[in-house]
Structure 1
């Protein structure tokens, strides 16, 4: 999540209706960064330019699009406080997804340790590995939290 800069990721998954089907914009065009506040969409088939514009408009992302010959220029709006708060909310959802992924990895390795205990693995070795895993998880969660705080500050700074 980046502010103040246009990136293709902002619109590549916008749904476009073309050829009697719906698909993400990235399936129909090349998306390039034109400047810090605008993107240039170059459709592979020039007959679907209007479909792409409709898709961008109906996405309700707040972007304005202008057809310039055989390509489309998409301009990013200035960030309002409300939009910044939306970005923070999305960022927090992604942070929670990262924490869940870390927990799932910890759980997987703990299960593997439990399985190894049924074999020739000693209880002391299992405890040592569990502690090591917990330390790694704690470190990663701290790293995630640090990144979250920096990003939240970055997103809310005008």
Structure 2
């Protein structure tokens, strides 16, 4: 039995890439402390990599400070190291099982750096969407080659896949533009 082509399934996968981008961008700070800032951080723990929220609780005690309460005392050093190496420009200070993460003021250079990070996240999302497009187009070619789909139908569906791809990339660009404006706002 040949694999079935489903345009809604492809569009759904593309939407998941956009949702993932939004989640990653939510972690980029814009001057205010937010627990979601540390969501992309993964910690080397128990022989593997784990999201920070699976080994600690992140709270916001004040506007420019995050507090990370590590559940397992032995992981405090690994959590501190993961936050420091996350590329978010943070300098955590450990106090036992509590790690305080002061948020520095955003200067112009730091805002530009955050914008570059946002662009990288957006490019990763675009690449993911293009991979989904390629998967769909490859499946259409296979179905056409196997005789399960006529050349006209294959071409029509291919055009629809391309339109879905263009729409998804436009959504990614819009999400990026909004975040970029938010970052650069003083």
User: Per the shorter chain, which TM-score range?
Assistant: 0.7 to 0.9
Query: Is 1:102 the counterpart of 2:93 in the alignment?
Result: no
Instruction: Report the counterpart of residue 156 of structure 2 in structure 1.
Output: 128
Q: Residue 165 of structure 2 corresponds to which residue in structure 1?
A: 137
The yes-or-no answer on 1:113 pairing with 2:140 is yes
Alpha-carbon distance change, 77 to 24 in structure 1, aligned in 2, over 3 angstroms: farther
**Residues 53 and 65, structure 1, Cα contact 8 Å, conserved in 2:** no
**Matching residue of 1:82:** 109
Instruction: Tell me the SS of whatever aligns to 2:159.
Output: helix
Answer whether contact 2:129 2:165 (CA < 8 A) is retained. Answer: yes
Equivalent pair of 1:30/1:43 in contact (CA under 8 Å)? yes
**What is the TM-score with the length of structure 2 in the denominator?**
0.67
Structure 1 residues 24 and 55: alpha-carbon distance in aligned structure 2, compared to 1, 3 A threshold: farther
SS across alignment from 1:63? coil
| Structure 1 vs Structure 2 CA RMSD | 3.2
Work out the number of aligned pairs and report it. Answer: 154
Higher-Rg member (1/2): 1
Q: 1:87, 1:37 → 2: CA distance?
A: 17
User: In the TM superposition, what is the alpha-carbon distance from 1:87 to its structure 2 partner?
Assistant: 0.6
Secondary structure at the counterpart of residue 74 of structure 1 = strand
Return the structure number with greater strand share: 1
Q: Is it true that 1:41 corresponds to 2:41 in the alignment?
A: no
Tell me which of the two structures has the higher relative contact order, counting C-alpha pairs closer than 8 angstroms and 6 or more residues apart.
2
Q: Structure 1 length normalisation: TM-score? A: 0.77
